[in-house]
Structure 1
Amino acid sequence: MQPTSPNAFRPARRSVLLALGGAALAGCGVPAAYVAPGDRAGADLSSSDHRLTWANWPLYIDVDDEDETKRPTLDAFEERTGISVEYVEEINDNDEFFGKISPALMNHQRTDRDLIVISDWMCARFVRLGWVQEMDRSRQPHVTRYLDPLLREPAFDPGRRFTVPWQSGITGIAYNKRRLGREIRQVSDLWADDLKGRVTLLSGLDEAFALLMQGNGVDITRWTADDFHTVCEQVERQVKSGHIRRFTGNDYIKDLSTGDVLACQAYSGDVIQLQADNPDIEFVVPEEGAELWSESLMIPNLARHKTNAERLIDYYYEPEVAAELAAWVNYVCPVPAAQDVLASAKDEETAALAEDPLIFPDAAMRERLVIARDITADERVEFAKKWNGIVGL
């Protein structure tokens, strides 16, 4: 169950908003693109056609160390249920994938995918446009029972009717404690004089804004346009003064590893892998709080194997299965009950993962984790233009 450092090679999933093209369409909620509830379901062939197609990101599922063609948890599902899963690692960027399947969805056509995994901020667009189907929780008793309470009520999908977290994570601050010579506890610590030119922020609007607002004491579940513009003004000042070295995707990992950067916005899953090679790297959830995010499973409109997909989702919420997956991917596990499963593992390294707060946040950390309100359709184009102008995209 021990991973072979998948995060070191995984492309950024909380990706940069590089262009306004596809995003503008989804963000503006073009009336013709909206699909009414009665037009979302297709003929479900699950009872007679025992298969499904699942689109996911690269290196985002457990793989057998001896045979990379085998995925132990998925193989076990197929053997148990007789359902054949075509697992396609085709998602490398949220906006790119949006552009790939949006023509079919807006034109009321099948995508030929029964299950997809995308970041929650992009899930919000799909839910808003009516492009995904409500799940039948009567078929998902494990999701109902074991889904982390912190993840149950995102603003874009109250009650998680249309989405179920695949894996979760935290956007916080990573820093090299030995090189810096002190602790970082607050977002404002990034702006200390001894960090001038040695700080990076995430370049994607959806990735960066929440933590910076939290540094200003903002409740990110109900942030306002004024809160956003205040952050932009602050960041712009830090750019002009030379304090911010640059804006990054997941390439902050290299800067932090080499020492070119001493502190940066970072994702919890990446830092677990960095710490394996460099114990001087620390990850902090600031005193003001940090953003808890997910990449979530959704069933697109007109999917032909909805029941099979719902069954697969529920399988991954069995604590034993969730534990096996968590031990490989090293992100925040959306099934807290998996912690006890890992703790009882005979392998010491595997059992130690149960005590890692970046996989199973402890009570003190959980109190500071919040799911941000998503950027609305009316806000997106204006805010993206403003942010991208500062970042240089």
Structure 2
Amino acid sequence: MSRRSLLRGTAGLGAATLLAGCGVPPAYVDESRRAARDLSARDRTLEFANWPLYIDTDDEDTAKRPTLNAFRERTGISVRYTEEINDNDEFFGKIGPSLMNGQEPGRDLVVVSDWMAARFVRLGWVQEMDREGQPNVDRHIDPQLHSPAFDPGRLHTVPWQSGITGIAYNRRKLGRELRSTKELWADDLRGKVTLLSGLDESFSLLMQGNGVDVTKWTEDDFHTMCDQVEKLVRAKHVRRFTGNDYIKDLSSGDVLACQAYSGDVIQLQADNPDIEFVVPEEGAELWAESLMIPNRAQHKANAEKLIDYYYEPEVAAELAAWVNYVCPVPAAQNVLADSGDEDLVALAEDPLIFPDTAMRSRLAIPRDIGADERVAFSKRWNAIVGL
């Protein structure tokens, strides 16, 4: 089971809207109120909250995490690592009350999807990092992920892992190749296609299939896409909307093509070589899930050291070899290629972990859904998903 194979939220109205509906609107926190006294120098610890199955583990003892153990041995900093994030909105609601009230959140480092990271940045709930103490980040971060619209220059966020939302299909059962999002709507795929249920996970690829530049999509682009999908749902062309359970449908042959995440497909291919992943001709979404240091974190300097450690190419390569998502440190490719290990060399050559130039030319990071758009857009999308 991959990390993204766990139950994900549909991003519905979002925890921010739910909190506002309860009379507790999320409060912007000014820069002057974000920092707490940093205990890093005297307290060599760190609280790190991440998603399940999203870090390397020892083959014989899954409770051991080799890269974290090596960090402790090198720096003397012990990391208390918890796998408590299972859903972006759920975690927002969990940590939000502390952050909006200026309280210590109990975590020094967290990982959320970039569309949720954008919300944290807009609310002023995360601290700017000291890049002078993070030379590896500046030197090795993937240029394509360097400066998203929600966080220019990545001052508040750093990608943990990245990935691609594209199309997966069973080439043998379909009997032909798929190269375009538009080909999902072919007559012989009626009732054999699934789409992702989460708005933030699904909209970009569908807009790109319509030729939209998703870095600057508009409200009209959104509603055009929704009109198209609604028509396909009513015509029974779309079998259903899924979380990560599309993996089961694709493996069983109940569906022949679907929206999918690159990392899932890498793992599916180990058991079923007929499953292929394609970045459509019209383009696909390049996403990231990013590290952030929340306001009032008590071990900011320790957290910054850990982030920079994971941007050493050797460390990034070790992590990439385990999680199999797009590595945000391109220099890690040479580490794997020069390892002399046949399996690691194969990973270095896999464009779903290290996209080549041709693939990168078709990848885009969409602008996120703004706070003023989210409620209306979520209602429209969820009504379609519920048909």
Partner residue of 1:173 out of 147, 167, 171: 167
* Inter-partner Cα distance in structure 2 for 1:377 and 1:92: 23
| Mapping of residues 37-186 of structure 1, within 5 Å | 37-186=31-180
Alpha-carbon distance between aligned partners in 2 of 1:20 and 1:107, rounded to the nearest angstrom: 19
1:17 partnered with 2:27: no
Q: How big is each residue's C-alpha offset from its partner over 1:194-232, in whole Å with a ceiling of 9 and x where there is no partner?
A: 000000000000000000000111100000000000000
Q: Conserved in 1, the CA contact under 8 Å of 2:20 and 2:26?
A: no
Aligned to 2:349: 355
CA distance in 1, matches of 2:359, 2:222: 25
1:155–1:172 distance in 2 versus 1, CA, 3 Å? same
Equivalent in the alignment of 1:366: 360
Kept in 2: contact 1:213–1:227 (CA 8 A): yes
User: How much does 1:69 deviate?
Assistant: 1.5
Q: How far, CA to CA, are the matches of 2:66 and 2:321 in structure 1? A: 12
**Alignment of structure 1 residues 319-330 onto 2, 5 Å:** 319-330=313-324
Kindly indicate whether the alpha-carbon contact (under 8 Å) linking 1:173 and 1:286 is maintained by their aligned counterparts in 2: yes
Distance 1:332 1:212 in 2: 21
Report SS of the residue matched to 1:335. coil
CA distance in 1, matches of 2:255, 2:336: 34
Residue 23 of structure 1 and its aligned partner are, at CA, apart by 4.1
Give, in angstroms, the shift of residue 347 of structure 1.
2.0
Partner Cα separation in structure 1 for residue 51 and residue 281 of structure 2? 32
The TM-score with structure 2 as length reference comes to 0.97
Contact 1:168 1:332 in 2 (8 A): yes
Counterpart of 2:332 in structure 1 is 338
SS class of match (2:205): helix
CA change 1:12–1:357 in 2 (3 A) is farther
CA distance in 2, matches of 1:23, 1:164: 26
Aligned to 2:2: 7
Quote the Cα distance in structure 1 between the aligned partners of 2:252 and 2:15: 36
Helix, strand or coil at the partner of 1:312: helix
Question: Which among 307, 317, 328 is matched to residue 313 of structure 1?
Answer: 307
1:377 aligns with 2:371: yes
Instruction: Map Cα deviations across residues 145-201 of structure 1 (whole Å, 9 max, x no partner).
Output: 000000011111111010000000000000001110111111100000000000000
Query: Is 1:8–1:273's contact at 8 Å kept on the other side of the alignment?
Result: no
Q: 2:190 aligns with which of 186, 196, 207?
A: 196
SS in 2 for 1:68: coil
> Structure 1: where are the runs of 5+ without partners?
1-5
Cα pair 2:129 2:155 within 8 Å, conserved: yes
Which region of structure 1 is more displaced relative to structure 2, 303-312 or 32-41?
Answer: 32-41
Where 2:287 maps in the other structure, the secondary structure is strand
**Which residue in the other structure is 1:387 paired with?**
381
Contact 1:26 1:129 in 2 (8 A): no
Inter-partner Cα distance in structure 2 for 1:45 and 1:266: 42
Query: Aligned partners of 2:78, 2:15: CA distance in 1, in Å?
Result: 36
Tell me the SS of whatever aligns to 1:301: coil
In the TM superposition, residue 24 of structure 1 has moved relative to its aligned partner by 5.2
Is the contact made by 2:3 and 2:52 (CA closer than 8 Å) also made in structure 1? no
Counterpart of 1:244 in structure 2 is 238
Q: Conserved in 2, the CA contact under 8 Å of 1:50 and 1:84?
A: yes
> For 1:264, which of 249, 252, 258 is the aligned residue?
258
Deviations 1:34-75 (A, max 9, x none): 100110011011111111100000110000001112100010
* Runs of 5+ consecutive residues of structure 2 not aligned to the other structure: none
Which consecutive segments of 4 or more residues in structure 1 shift more than 3 A? Answer: 18-27
What CA distance in whole angstroms lies between the structure 2 residues aligned with 1:236 and 1:344?
49
Would you say the 8 A contact 2:190–2:238 is kept in 1? yes
Separation in 2, partners of 1:9, 1:159 = 27
User: In the alignment, residue 139 of structure 2 is paired with which amino acid?
Assistant: R
Helix, strand or coil at the partner of 1:221: helix
Q: Secondary structure at the match of 2:56?
A: coil
CA RMSD of aligned residues (A): 1.7
Structure 2 counterpart of 1:177, one-letter code: R
Aligned residues: 386
Whether the 8 Å contact between 1:169 and 1:269 is mirrored in structure 2 is yes
> Sequence identity, in percent?
74
Partner of 1:3: none
Structure 1 counterpart SS, 2:214:
coil
Q: What TM-score, normalized by structure 1, do the two folds share?
A: 0.96
